[in-house]
Amino acid sequence: EFTQVGGQILTLGAAFASLQARQAETSKSLREASERELAAQVKLNTLQETLNRETARAEKLKHERAAAEAALKSLQDEAERHSAAHAARESERQRTLEDLDDLILGQGSRAERLKAEIKDLEERRAEFAQIEARLQNWQDIEARLRGQLIELEEKHEILRHGLGSDESTVIMFANDIIKRLDLVDALMSRYAGQNGGDVVSQLRTLRHSFEDILLQHGVSEFDVDPGTEVDVPLRKRITIVESLPGKNKPRVVESCRSGFIYSREEGHEVVLRKVEVRISSN
């Protein structure tokens, strides 16, 4: 069996192998980009908190210095108005001025420290700009990966129009599409907790298109309702991932991952993937 992909004549096995390799590369790139994005976000949050603390401290120092300067001016004016009235008052003013001089010297030292802190903040601001640039780069990578997923959909459409009625070909094709659905589900789960509403919506649309392709070839997704008794026919359709022992007949508690079934024209069905379930006999 041959098919045409990108202007080349390939066997279906080679085409499917190429698609699987691209899927692995895409999955790896997504995982690495997500890890780098998470690490950068943690670092960015830490730097932002430090910047906020240092800014608040600088504002506090500024207000303290302004208050001290205002107090100094007030004392100087008061001393000038009463200097002729009493010598003791002049002496007191002098002592006050000396105390304020010490305060000003202390404020000068604090001002120097503040300048150093401001310089450090400027350096951190530059570092933030670099982090933002890296984040933008990761967002570009993410956009390219989403584009590759859309490209996969288009290629599957091309393959769909080229398929014959051979059941083995349909089954191989369906299994490849099912793997793509698993990838889309993993991406939807990842972005659902990261305020990625637009991304999740796009992925959901992509998933529906894959489902439509499968339905056109007689392949449908199925689950098992909670409470269903596990009998012999059902065991042919399920994979038990967890079982709670008990004295009653086992029943399905939850479907963990959907299964897929191929309905042939003569009415027979082929289970392409069993439903993964948790059961309980309690």
In DSSP terms, 252 is beta-bridged to 279
Which parts of 83-166 fold into alpha helices (H)? 87-162
Per-residue pLDDT tens digits for 93-102: 888 888 887 8
Give residue 72's pLDDT: 80
> Which positions ≥6 away from 12 have C-beta within 8 Å?
1, 2, 3, 169, 172, 173
pTM: 0.44
What SS3 class is residue 193?
coil
pLDDT of residue 163: 46
**pLDDT (tens digit per residue) in 160-205:** 555 445 778 888 888 989 988 988 888 888 877 666 677 788 888 8
Place of tokens 């730097």: 47
Residue 266 three-state SS:
coil
pLDDT at residue 112 in the model: 85
For 155, half-sphere exposure in the C-beta direction (CA atoms, 13 angstrom radius) is 23
Judged by average pLDDT, the poorest of 50-59, 71-80, 83-92, 158-167 is 158-167
Query: Structure tokens of 261?
Result: 């079934």
107: amino acid identity, one letter: Q
Contacts of 221 (CB under 8 A, 6+ apart): 211, 214, 258, 259, 260
Task: State the pLDDT at residue 281.
Answer: 92
Asked if 252 contacts 241 with a C-beta cutoff of 8 angstroms, the reply is no
Give the pair of three-digit tokens for residue 247.
């004295």
Checking if the pLDDT of 228 tops 90, the result is yes
Pairwise CA distance, residues 116 & 201, whole Å? 48
